[in-house]
Amino acid sequence: MKKTIGLISLMGFVLLATAQLPASPDKIYGDLFHQVQMSKIFPDGKTFVDCIPKRAPKDIMYDYGMRKGPQFDLKKFVEENFELPHTPQLNYITREKDVVMHIRNLWGVLKREPDITPGAPPMGAQAREGTSLLPLPYPYIVPGGRFREVYYWDSYFTLLGLKESGENVMVENMVRNFAYLIDTYGHIPNGNRSYYLSRSQPPFFALMVELLAEIKGDSIYTTFLPALEKEYQFWMEGAQKLKPGQAARRVVKLKDGTVMNRYWDDSPTPRPESYREDVETANKTKRPKTEVYTHLRAGAESGIDFSSRWLADGKTLTSIQTTDYIPVDLNALLYKLEIVMTKAYVVKHADSLSAVFRKISEKRALSIDKYCWNNKLNFYVDYNFRTLKQSTIISPAGMYPFCVYTRKLDYMSLLARRAGAVVREQLLRDGGVQTTAHATGEQWDAPNGWAPLQWMTIWGLDRCGQRELARDIADRWMKLNIEVFQRTGKLMEKYNVVDTKLEAGGGEYAGQDGFGWTNGVLLKLISKYGMPKEQ
């Protein structure tokens, strides 16, 4: 691995210095920000970080310093100086009875126009000084509800539905926006907000490029190869300097020299959009607060925020230890990135680099099998490189290798039969697969089910020969989505798959409707399987 990492470092990848990055609201507004979030001026901590200042932040902060005191009305000051974020879909009235037609109409509601002109200089100025939105040059689709910006891993599942809707121009616009983010900031942030710049999300960009190539042909691979290269360097930064047993940022080198990846965030402070919640979590433990914040932020990068997957005791958030894990889903996605880069170099006729990345991907696949496949549990799980033990938490993350492996499909089919039995026993419920079998109160645990994890489970099982089980899960999930839509006129961010008459719960905010990835996965499943069969 050392030789191949050395070759990668010679390829001329460059990451932008973090000093160039736009400041997040907690840095801009200092004590005002702290007071607003801790006083719970807004029920949802994300509201203030999305507010738009009515005048220059320095003038707002000067007046804040002059006026604050015993009689100071903080809420009134905020209302005078900031515009509240706008959520257009709140005005949308559902009139369609057909769920497919509803989703196709909803794309227009969830669409956002370009924030800047294509070709604008790198690090383009934010739409207004002090606002958190990172402008994008092409139209894009947001998830809905409180999520007023584009989100990284959400968007892959949204693209599945856009493709089924024939919205191929929007598919390309979304991919171009993500390439712009990589080129501008060195990586794809969690979302296009300044407060998300310190972290990314599960790296689905390679799968997006592959999806676009299905529409426009193999030239797409070379078009987006520079962005693929930069994303890979972001995730692998520092690997060549690590000694066995060390970890740095998103890279871990195990004692046998194996290089794998973990989730990370570069800022050991409370997440601005969940500031009060993070402070309160850190205050409940005797652990160093920066340690708790790092694990919470890494959990947010994973997209699985939060779950028993990341909890040392399997039940309480104060025991979170996200950065201690080598997650099976992350490493499977990076394997896919390596495979797509291999393909891109073939298309570009760069045979030597293609051979390099083929070997890298093969080594990663062997490492995932060695450290993440559990023969006793018959499932892929996360590996704790601090304790040198595999996790015992079963989750749909263990299905990712079945979706992306290109080698030994006959062997993967054998493993899929074993994993399928585990899915049926521990995860499958009336409405689809639950996120884990543990009810902790966290939103990425039982009884909740989420569209992206339904799709990855269905895809992996179907691809590796477990088609009957895949169809069963798809039918249950589609039926639940459609029943809730018929009852409420809404498609939701997450669902209760155990008691399908109840809403999903947990998490730091109320249930959201819209909803990008639910729409995308449902359209993809209807296209693949037709309307659900009766159970």
Indicate which residues carry an active-site annotation. Answer: 305, 493
Work out the end-to-end distance of the chain between its first and last CA atoms, rounded to an integer number of angstroms. 49
Q: Which two tokens stand for residue 349?
A: 């006729």
Per the DSSP assignment, residues forming a β-bridge with 253 are: 259
- Burial, 521: exposed, middle or buried (Cβ in 10 Å; 0-12, 13-18, 19+)? buried
- Whole-number Å distance between alpha carbons of 105 and 340: 33
Q: Tell me the helices (H) and strands (E) count for the chain, helix number first.
A: 20, 16
Q: Indicate the helix (H) or strand (E) that contains 374.
A: strand 373-374
Q: Indicate the helix (H) or strand (E) that contains 5.
A: helix 2-9
| AA letter at 179 | A
Strand stretches in 459-498, DSSP E: 494-496
- Whole-number Å distance between alpha carbons of 170 and 206: 17
Q: Kindly give the residue spans of alpha helices, DSSP state H, lying in 325-350.
A: 328-347
- Whole-number Å distance between alpha carbons of 208 and 204: 6
**Is residue 361 left, alpha or beta, with left meaning phi > 0 and alpha meaning psi from -120 to 50?**
alpha
**Beta carbons within 8 Å of 115's beta carbon, 6+ residues apart:** 127, 133, 135, 136, 137
- Burial, 174: exposed, middle or buried (Cβ in 10 Å; 0-12, 13-18, 19+)? buried
Q: Which two tokens stand for residue 227?
A: 């962005």
Q: In whole angstroms, how far apart are CA 461 and each of 321, 402, 422? A: 30, 7, 12
